[in-house]
Structure 1
Amino acid sequence: MIDLDDTDRRILRALSEDASLSSGALGRRLGLSQPATWRRIRRLQQAGAFQSRRLDLDLTRLGFGVTVFLGIKLAAKGRLSLEDFERAVSAIPEVQTVEHILGSYDYRLRVTARDIPDFERVLRRRIMTLPGIGNVDANVMLSEERLPGPLG
């Protein structure tokens, strides 16, 4: 576990809201010098508090209006390694996340598509053809609220 002080938490909170902030802009916002802010960001990154800064795309504006969460139960775990399934499903561009979970399903996938017919095409032609697929449960996302997380 990484030991965080209040300033570290404020830095992480600000970067989680806007990862494009420069160390100078972040320092001005938090009342720190640019070099001190840069050193703290570098220390946090080296400690593994965050792995990268990423671009958060607006999928709806880019033409991907449907997000579906799939629960996947593998039919034959003995014949198909989990790594093989993960590698195959990760190669499908519409699959945004692959989560190995404990519970009713083996995996939870977040799939984006242009619309429901496009999702059906992805499901039939790409996901359902993967070896080892057993039961599939689909849940269409109606709306999403982003929460600040444990640092909030």
Structure 2
Amino acid sequence: MQVDDTDRRILRQVLAEPSAARADLADRAGVTAATFGRRMERLREAGVVRAVQAVVDWRALGFAVEVSLRFTLDKTNPRAFDEFIAAAREVPEVVAIETFLGRVDVRLNVIARDMAHYQEVYRARILSLPHIAEVDALMLIATIKDSEGLPL
């Protein structure tokens, strides 16, 4: 799909304020509401826009601790990745799972209410995940930039 300047203007407005009214977004992008609707539908059908979603601030809900855990798996079992990921999906405090090519195989982002809760989750749920060869923890101190935006 070819994305033109009008599509880019629309995408910039949706990224800037996804919860704004459709008419307001259209006006800011310099198009009519009907054009905005048609263009957004086309962008969705082409897979350019997958969803307009809410972003939850975990800290506002009382989760003050976020830890990124990096795992190297014991790959002697050919199902190690699949079994590890399936088990990690069952841990409610795991909010992101990413796989990598390199020394680190998988990264889990884990949230907890406080350090005592994190320690409980780590000992009871994380260390019991299958096929762990090595684990390294990085505690989040501050998020400097967290943007879904693109240079459109």
- Normalized against structure 1, the TM-score is what? 0.89
| Shift in CA distance, 50/81, structure 1 to aligned 2, threshold 3 Å | farther
What amino acid is the match of 1:26?
L
The match for 1:105 is 104
1:79 deviates by 4.7
Whether the 8 Å CA contact 1:80–1:131 is kept in 2: the answer is: no
Q: Flag structure 2 segments of 5+ consecutive residues without an equivalent.
A: none
How big is the alpha-carbon RMSD for the aligned residues of Structure 1 and Structure 2?
A: 1.7
TM-score (normalised: structure 2):
0.89
Report how far residue 77 of structure 1 moved.
Answer: 4.7
Match of 1:17 in 2: 16
Which residue of the partner structure matches residue 85 of structure 2?
86
Does the aligned pair in 1 maintain the 2:93–2:110 contact within 8 Å? yes
* Mean CA deviation greater in 140-149 or 98-107: 140-149
Deviations 1:102-143 (A, max 9, x none): 122100111111112211111111111011112111101111
Q: Which residue of 1 aligns with 2:129?
A: 130
- Seen in structure 2, the aligned counterparts of structure 1 residues 105 and 77 have a Cα distance that, compared at 3 Å, is farther
Residue in 1 aligned with 2:31?
Answer: 32
Does the aligned pair in 1 maintain the 2:15–2:149 contact within 8 Å?
no
The one-letter code sitting in structure 1 at the alignment partner of 2:123 is: R
User: Deviations 1:52-81 (Å, cap 9, x if unpaired)?
Assistant: 121111111110111111101112352534
Q: Which position in structure 1 is the counterpart of 2:72?
A: 73
The letter of the residue matching 1:105 is V
Greater CA deviation, 91-100 or 70-79? 70-79
C-alpha distance in 2, partners of 1:20/1:67?
27
Moved more, 79-88 or 118-127: 79-88
Identity percentage of aligned residues: 35
Deviation beyond 6 Å, 4+ runs, structure 1: none
2:151 aligned residue: 151
